Amino acid sequence: MNTFKLNDNTNIPSVGFGVFMVPNNGPTEEAVSAAIRQGYRLIDTAAAYQNESDVGKAVRNSGIPREEIYIESKLWLQDYGYEAAKKAIDTSLKNLGTEYIDLYLLHQPYGDTEGAWKAMEEAVRAGKIKSVGVSNHTVKFLDRLIPKMEIMPAVNQMECNPFCQQKKLREYLDKYNIKVQAWYPLGHANRDLLNDTRLVQIAEKYGKSVAQIILRWHLQEGIIAIPKAASEQHIRDNISIFDFKLTDEDMTVIRSMDKGKGTHNPDDMTNAVTLGMYKIH
């Protein structure tokens, strides 16, 4: 598996498997088990997905040594603040059935992120977490939080795909060597994206699917992609992107597709109210 080096000198697989909206108590375990069989070594979950326990079961039952599988989870808004975050980290560890989490993120940029980050930093020092990062954090929120951090985020997980390339944010993150990790890397099955004639032509040239072209674009841009797939065929296809390389011309064509916005704008503060109403315990 191809990896990227993070700013804390750890390595992260360049492509992962996401389990957003996959039910617990069976379906997530089956999906993650299939992904591990196909060669995935990064599994992305979150406390808010409420399927951490299935992820843990799949990892334990895989026959793969724990240190060879990269587990990522996220702290939910309900558990922001120093004391609440400390408890939530231990709850995630218990749910996952592991002694440490490879990467742990602030899932949203609202509320007491400073207190939550302090708890996450302490968990790193205690060996409970290897790397810390953020998710859905725009420049506005990072400007507020970074001066208060002792450990710099290694990753910012954001919506990112050819229609939503996060160019300005990526320039900002480059100053701190923070890697972008893409949710909705395939546009959440956006038909306009997957049927775009420019991508179709590139896919035909390489004998690949449009999804594989998009994921290869992420790889060559240095973006960690977290695609989600239901069928084992698509799970396999999404990781079969290491046997070809897009040309500079191909990359330029895909870069020209950027529309500058996606499905979610974290700077819209109505999101803070809406997401704050979602309770996980």
Specify whether 49 is catalytic. yes
Rounded CA Rg of the chain:
18
CA distances, 248 to each of 168, 172, 252, 254, 259 (Å): 21, 23, 6, 10, 20
- Spot the catalytic one: 40, 49, 110, 184: 49
Angle between helices 197-206 and 210-221 (to 10 degrees): 90
Q: At what angle do helices 82-96 and 113-125 cross, to 10 degrees?
A: 50
Of the candidates 109, 27, 42, the residue with the CA atom closest to the CA atom of residue 73: 42
C-beta of residue 116 within 8 angstroms of C-beta of residue 79: yes
Q: Which residues are catalytic?
A: 49
